Amino acid sequence: MNHFVSDAVIRRLPGYYRHLRELEAEGVSQISSKELGERMHQTPSQIRQDINCFGGFGRQGYGYHVPELKEQIRRILGLDREHTMIIIGAGSIGSAVAHYPNFVKEGFHTLALFDADKNRIGTTVNGIRVLDIHDLESFLSENIVDIAVLAVPVEAARDICDRLKACGIDAIWNFAPLDLEGENRRMTIVNVHLSDTLHILSYKMLHRETN
């Protein structure tokens, strides 16, 4: 896996992981690229191409061994490791992330939430404590944190990002509605824009109507 992997393939990887996990749960141990393609609404050749990017685990006339391929993709995604997280912002999105049931199973452990609102500080969300954002730096000096989840209003996002960077945090999962960037590739940032997917739905509804 030393060669270049395109963004498009990376973007599809979690989908492979999801479908293979579902297949394994259904007791399916073997699948052809044709069957996997039908399930994922992709052509068999797209499936083979994608999977070949990571070394090619298929066997001629057999297809893929589901648990094996799932494990490979799990490792490729880094999901065989444990990650610690903090969530900045204990509002509705921060709380939704804190409640997401699969994250702990997948090794993502939320150590704390942070908020500026006195009514939230001192409470817990899904059993995780909400700390004062003023204590962010002292917390980070005492705890190893791999990922910061940014769920703050857009006005606060850049300032918090700078504070996290100054503390050595180098991975951000950003829900604030702006594109944060990893300056000089020092930070790894994934920006999530919830409303983008609603806009795509709106586009598809309109397109359907006019055809």
Nearest distance from residue 60's CB to its own copies, in Å? 28
Cα–Cα separations (whole angstroms), residue 202 to 29, 192, 197? 38, 18, 9
Q: Is 67 in the site for its own copies (CB under 8 A)?
A: no
Q: Among 47, 93, 133, 136, which residue interacts with its own copies (rule: CB under 8 A)? A: 93
Does position 116 interact with its own copies (CB under 8 A)? The reply is no
Is residue 158 part of the contact set for its own copies (CB under 8 A)?
no
Rule CB under 8 A: say whether 180 interacts with its own copies: no
CB of 111 to its own copies, least distance (A): 16
**Which CB, 135 or 181, lies closer to its own copies?**
181
11 binds its own copies (CB under 8 A): yes
Q: Does 166 bind its own copies (CB under 8 A)?
A: no
- Asked if 59 interacts with its own copies (CB under 8 A), we say no
104 lies in the site for its own copies, by CB under 8 A:
no
CA-closest candidate to residue 137, choices 176, 115, 102, 167: 167
From residue 5, give the alpha-carbon distance in Å to each of 17, 73, 173, 190: 17, 14, 21, 17
Contact between 203 and its own copies (CB under 8 A)?
Answer: yes
119: contact with its own copies by CB under 8 A: no
Residues binding its own copies (CB under 8 A): 8, 10-11, 13-15, 17-19, 22, 41, 76-79, 81, 83, 91-93, 95-100, 102-103, 106, 108, 146-147, 171, 173, 177-179, 181, 185, 188, 190, 192-206, 208
